[in-house]
Structure 1
């Protein structure tokens, strides 16, 4: 059995434990899971509650269903994934934070893209309308707070992914104004946060007139540094919005961010939580950032030419295998898929844990590396 096959088996075994939970798993705290109740909607949105992470177990289950070769087991896994996705239904009207978009990207659009599940379309459309209306009312993808709330006037590099849902919705509705606004908002993030060397800041603050003012951080070491998971969000996000829009700038940014990642991540597949951490600080590593980045590099590979595609896939495969050996294969059962995550080091949340979002993107990375042997499907939201 090779490393990817062993990792896939571990994913399936852990998912069979997770899917029996009476609530959405979010991250581990020692031997137990922090969870979000099925009936929770607007409560607990700041900053690391499960409100934005509840779509990721459904995504894991969709990848497992799509990757199942046995028809009977595939149907069983498909039905299970659908059950978990439909548990998001009470959250379609949530306007309190931007990452409701991520919730439904993972929880519904993945299933629609890789499994052709049409029953998720009404759920996805209802959520996408709420997300898009909130975005248009505020004028940028404001990370936290409803439109009438003037606190937290910022967007983040993470929000590039959150703009994928308005882009998808604009395509579904033929809404050119919404599409243009979403693309403009992505350019604002690119202008404000992506540096010439391909690294990224995390937080872009706005004034009362919706004009960007300065760069800050919440989860990084400093505003001038590069939080490694922010770099991973950017790789995945810009690669995805390039595939949606065809805007060459987004592809160039994703390539530059990928080069920065590959230059900075050397012998250990799991990066230090901030690439610019002073030598005097403890070297906490983040497997969540790693799984997200390697899924993003594989998405970027799909948009790249033959030589670059091969380079990205080879690098991602090597790193996913190394990550699996270090943090997945042989670890205690019932503690999540990928150990060694660092959800938020500055605020001491989820250190040396498993985080369901990191588990989800690691699952996607393994799925992408093995899917060509099954049906050559990649999870995309618009046709190539």
Structure 2
């Protein structure tokens, strides 16, 4: 067990997230929450990219208390999610987010054959989005007046690759793993800047595979440093190193962690973009902190002392700050942590509780306790 689990606040926080999730489950049941914009979680369509985080959270808590109703609701979510797999226009590169936290988590817990079948189907659909010219996985399906989405990849994709790594481990077929590595190599080359900041969106020519341009995406502008995108890279490359052992991925994760912590300074929660100008610094993103903290604990598994200790201490400081200063423990609102921002450029859902912020907060607490989340099956 991680020696930091001896911190009294970790045990207190774990008990609180367990009790709060069980209480929330009585309300949310087998629906798909996204944000608690007015103190109450909404209900999204199962095709929405965040649909896996609620069943993933249920499985995290179930793993410890075997509360059967949590498992039943998570499995009901999974059956609804399967319907989306029958329509390829409803699925995109976020299949990893959805199925690692639903079907794969279910299979890892129980050995359920249907959960394995569904998850492998999702992995095949994710692999089918690979563009052999540009060596990238296409992100989105929708049309856009601002970009040709047939050629778009985004940094979030690094967190979806473990579905492909898992599929290779589960079936013995190396193709999934090789596609994941090819995509990660492209992201390493095209998304990671010399100053270790990360861009959100890169557009390629879908026919030739040549890079066309960078887009600001959910960051302030091209060349900015979207906080959550930085966290996705930190965490995603640590996972990629764990599955592949490629030193380049470890280096990128370490450098991105340093960038994140340097930009954050003594704060706990960053502005939504580290390079947002003063007039746009009215929104924060606690989900970036939760993702980054979980990523630092992932990264700490692969480095030597004293770097391991330094990463663990940094993550513990951030998580303690989230629990004591940014959680809903003293309010009646739904969600676990506050001050997350979904999409600042579109002015959507600013300074609210977000389901993926909640998931990664709980996942990181589990790691402080010496356990793992659902992004490392079979590792």
- Deviating beyond 4 angstroms after TM superposition, the runs of 4 or more aligned structure 1 residues are 73-80, 136-139, 376-380
Q: In the aligned structure 2, how far is the partner of 1:187 from the partner of 1:116?
A: 34
1:145 aligned to 114, 131, 141, which one? 141
2:102 aligned to 102, 107, 117, which one? 107
Superposition map of 1:364-383 within 5 A: 364-370=363-369, 372=370, 376=371, 379=374, 381=376, 383=378
TM-score under structure 2 normalisation? 0.87
Number of the residue aligned with 2:164: 166
Number of the residue aligned with 2:3: none
Does 270-279 or 79-88 show the bigger shift? 79-88
Matched, 1:65 2:62: yes
Coordinate RMSD, CA, aligned: 2.5
Give CA deviations for 1:238-283 in whole Å, capped at 9, x if unaligned.
Answer: 1111111111111111111011111111222111111111234334
2:118 aligned to 100, 123, 139, which one? 123
Q: Secondary structure at the match of 1:215?
A: strand
Flag structure 2 segments of 5+ consecutive residues without an equivalent. 1-6
CA contact under 8 A between 2:52 and 2:102: conserved in structure 1?
A: yes
Q: In the aligned structure 1, how far is the partner of 2:246 from the partner of 2:154?
A: 20
Does 360-369 or 281-290 show the bigger shift? 281-290
Number of the residue aligned with 1:44: none
Superposition map of 1:79-90 within 5 A: 79-90=72-83
Does 249-258 or 92-101 show the bigger shift? 92-101
CA contact under 8 A between 1:158 and 1:234: conserved in structure 2?
A: yes
CA contact under 8 A between 1:67 and 1:367: conserved in structure 2?
A: no
Number of the residue aligned with 1:53: 50
Number of the residue aligned with 2:34: 26
- Give the 3 Å change call, closer, same or farther, for CA 31–328 of structure 1 in structure 2: closer
Q: Secondary structure at the match of 2:358?
A: helix
Matched, 1:333 2:340: no
CA contact under 8 A between 1:221 and 1:346: conserved in structure 2?
A: yes
Q: In the aligned structure 2, how far is the partner of 1:380 from the partner of 1:222?
A: 30
Number of the residue aligned with 2:130: 135
Q: In the aligned structure 2, how far is the partner of 1:94 from the partner of 1:7?
A: 40
Q: In the aligned structure 2, how far is the partner of 1:136 from the partner of 1:206?
A: 10
TM-score under structure 1 normalisation? 0.86
Q: In the aligned structure 1, how far is the partner of 2:15 from the partner of 2:56?
A: 17
Q: In the aligned structure 1, how far is the partner of 2:67 from the partner of 2:301?
A: 25
Measured after TM superposition, the shift of residue 382 of structure 1 is: 5.2
Q: Secondary structure at the match of 1:306?
A: coil
Q: In the aligned structure 2, how far is the partner of 1:381 from the partner of 1:64?
A: 17
Matched length: 363
